[in-house]
Amino acid sequence: MKKINLPEFVLVLMMLVSLSACKKVFDIQPEDQLDEANAYQNVYDADAAVIGIYGKFMGLAEQYVVLNELRADLLDVTANSNEALRQINTHTVTENNPYASPKAFYELILNCNDVLEHFKVMVQEKKMNEDQFNQRFSDIKSLRSFLYLQLGIHFGEVPYVTSSLKNVDEVKNTANFKRLPFNVLLDSLISTTESIPFKGIYPTGTNLNISVDAYQTQKFYIHKRALLGDLYLWKGNYQKAATYYREVMEENTGSADDRIRFGMYKMGSMKDDLAGQNIRYGSAGDATSLNYTVGWRQIFEAPIGSDNVNYEWLWVMPFDNKFNPQNPMIKLFSPVGGNYLLRPSQQVFDLWDGETQRPAQGGSIPYDARKLLSTMTIGGQPVAMKYLYNYIGWNTGTALNPLQKNGKWFLFRQTHLHLRFIEAANRSGKYRLSCGLLNNGIAGTYPAPGNDVTNYHNTLNEPYPFNIDARNSGNSGVPYYRADWCRNLGIRARANLVNISVPANDSLMTIESALIKEGALENAFEGTRWPDLLRIAIRNNDPSFLADRVYVKLMKSGISSSSASAARSKLMAKEWYLPFKW
């Protein structure tokens, strides 16, 4: 990246909306640009560099979803799928498979390195102040760590390059860049991400956190504390992981708005229909009255900046038909205006069908309603809908506007946050707390015998970060309590599901398996599944945890038993990583 265009402030705002490809930012024709000697002159130039990085990052969306979901058990190929996707699905990847190439990740990493070096020069030359530098430098460095985490997850041993290079192919030179094993890479990522000078979000009203053209840009950028929680979780430092996750859960605790204070990132119930995210029925116990227009499905359809998105998502990026890059999710998932290359697996349908909803007047409903809100049948074919609700009408199965292929790239939300906090808490021996957050919330797990909840509805006897106060005395309770976690629902209660039961003699493993299953039910297709399965398989030295689930998916798909068995054998031998080739 040798050149950057000289943006006017209005152009910066438009780029915040479009997140146009990095080429748009750095490779404009000479009459519109400054050469490297005159670039990076002020904070607006720095903002353009940040936007350019995220624009190019959006180009990784298709590869990210394919690798993180198709390699696991919740997505399957269709009759339209090409050979590259079929190889990913059956773990028979060849070196020339475009989805399995790390090159695009390293191109962006080198862009990050270049921007970081220029930012250091800018602050030294007082072309932006220290606060501006801290915010932008920390953001790009954290995004680079996220990219490396993805490389570690999929390729195992990878070069760790932190300097600018003229040619991305230099990365392949093992004499200059030794490949770090994944566990060693994690040490480097933790060290470098911990060292960033700013771990918060861009302050409201600053150039990179504004509302423009119906978009609220705060959610466009990586959440640094959530990333640090993930890095520590992979490393097995559960106390540190839980500490960072808890900080994220409570970053809105001081809000004067009770919906934000009690609900945002705390898996809290909402007191109004517009912002609520739980499974809803028009009539209790009547499966035909499932509400599609409010509640859980709106997490995926509602516009960025709305309460449904703000209260749920920490990181989500828009694809807008007016700007590049184009939305790849239509091509992947949609049989209407797309290529319908990927479909929900039979295995994920069986997981949803194996659940039971909470009893209500008229009896229980024998399946997880998230099945109906995550998928549709269109033209007789099962369709993964989470990425398509801004393109296909939920009640028609047809394109809202065939020429407007809008959508979102979902990266991190509060259920990811809670499931990973539960994983860390469970590994720290906090079994009852883990069950509460997974099942029906803190108050439901620590119930009070009467109106006085002083010594109930909380885990205040535990050390931080496991000391959670959910006391809620009700309007008639004495003494009166409205603690910060008083609306905490629990993940399964929000989905209207019965609690899981945990035998006392193997709480740790039962809870761990249950939360990984819950991740499938709640977060299917969102890019978390392969990492979740891999992390548990590595931690427990149990390749069957991963291999068996992939085998079952392949067998249910109708593939030959020999191909399914070959994939299982490969994974049982811990051949989990892709060939590092491009």
The CATH number of whichever domain residue 13 belongs to comes to 1.25.40.390
Answer yes or no: is 185 within a domain: yes
Answer yes or no: is 450 within a domain: no
Longest dimension (CA), the chain: 75
Amino acid 35: pLDDT = 53
Amino acid 208: pLDDT = 93
Among residues 450, 521, 444, 519, which one has the least CA distance to residue 487?
444
pLDDT tens for each residue of 484-522: 999 999 999 999 999 999 987 889 999 999 999 999 999
State how far the alpha carbon of 440 is from the alpha carbons of 298, 428, 443, in Å: 21, 20, 8
- Sign, Cα dihedral of 248, 254, 259, 262: positive
pLDDT tens for each residue of 306-337: 888 999 999 999 999 888 899 999 999 999 99
Q: Of residues 33 and 342, which shows the higher confidence score? A: 342
Q: Are 230 and 531 in contact (CB under 8 A)?
A: no
Judge if 121 and 217 occupy the same domain: yes
Secondary structure percentages of the chain, helix, strand, coil, to 5: 45, 10, 45
Answer yes or no: is 209 within a domain: yes
pLDDT tens for each residue of 181-212: 999 999 999 999 999 999 999 998 888 998 76
- Residue 129 buriedness (CB in 10 A; 0-12 / 13-18 / 19+): exposed
Q: CB-hemisphere CA count at 13 Å for 526?
A: 23
State how far the alpha carbon of 547 is from the alpha carbons of 90, 395, 509, in Å: 11, 37, 18
| Three-class DSSP category at 554 | helix
- Alpha carbons 567 and 419: distance in angstroms, whole number: 28
Judge if 219 and 352 occupy the same domain: no
Question: What DSSP letter does each residue of 331-350 carry, written as one string?
Answer: HHH-SSSS---EEE-HHHHH
Amino acid 4: pLDDT = 34
Q: What is the mean pLDDT of the chain?
A: 91
Residue count of the chain: 582
Judge if 201 and 333 occupy the same domain: no
Answer yes or no: is 537 within a domain: no
Domain end residue (candidates: 394, 413, 432): 413
**Residue 321 in tokens:** 């038909």
pLDDT above 80 (res 131)? yes
Among residues 434, 460, 458, which one has the least CA distance to residue 448?
458
Judge if 215 and 300 occupy the same domain: no
| Three-class DSSP category at 458 | strand
State how far the alpha carbon of 316 is from the alpha carbons of 222, 421, 468, in Å: 9, 20, 28
pTM: 0.94
Judge if 83 and 201 occupy the same domain: yes
Q: Of residues 336 and 213, which shows the higher confidence score? A: 336
Domain end residue (candidates: 362, 394, 413): 413
503: Cβ contacts below 8 Å, ≥ 6 apart? 510
Average the pLDDT over 205-228 and give the result: 87
- In which domain, by residue range, is 393 found? 296-413
Judge if 10 and 137 occupy the same domain: yes
State how far Cα 557 lies from the chain centre. 26
Judge if 79 and 197 occupy the same domain: yes
Domain end residue (candidates: 355, 390, 413): 413
Answer yes or no: is 241 within a domain: no
Amino acid 156: pLDDT = 98
pLDDT tens for each residue of 366-401: 999 999 999 999 999 999 999 999 999 999 999 999
pLDDT above 70 (res 265)? yes
Average the pLDDT over 528-538 and give the result: 98
Answer yes or no: is 208 within a domain: yes
pLDDT above 70 (res 125)? yes
Q: Are 493 and 441 in contact (CB under 8 A)?
A: yes
Amino acid 46: pLDDT = 96
Amino acid 36: pLDDT = 63
- Residue 403 buriedness (CB in 10 A; 0-12 / 13-18 / 19+): exposed
pLDDT above 80 (res 7)? no
Confidence grade of residue 6 (pLDDT, cut at 50, 70, 90)? very low
Q: Strand ranges (DSSP E) for 360-406?
A: 375-378, 381-384
- Alpha carbons 147 and 192: distance in angstroms, whole number: 13
Amino acid 503: pLDDT = 86
Judge if 195 and 302 occupy the same domain: no
Answer yes or no: is 28 within a domain: yes
Q: Are 102 and 158 in contact (CB under 8 A)?
A: yes
Q: Are 21 and 59 in contact (CB under 8 A)?
A: yes
| Three-class DSSP category at 212 | strand
Judge if 209 and 350 occupy the same domain: no
Answer yes or no: is 27 within a domain: yes
Judge if 307 and 159 occupy the same domain: no
CB atoms within 10 A of CB 228: 25
Judge if 80 and 177 occupy the same domain: yes
Q: Are 251 and 466 in contact (CB under 8 A)?
A: no
Among residues 217, 214, 242, 215, which one has the least CA distance to residue 228?
242
Show the CA angle centred on residue 150, arms to residues 17 and 75, nearest 5°: 85
pLDDT tens for each residue of 48-79: 999 999 999 999 999 999 999 999 999 999 99
Domain count across the chain: 2
Q: Are 141 and 113 in contact (CB under 8 A)?
A: no
Judge if 76 and 208 occupy the same domain: yes
Structure-token match 């998502």, residue found: 313
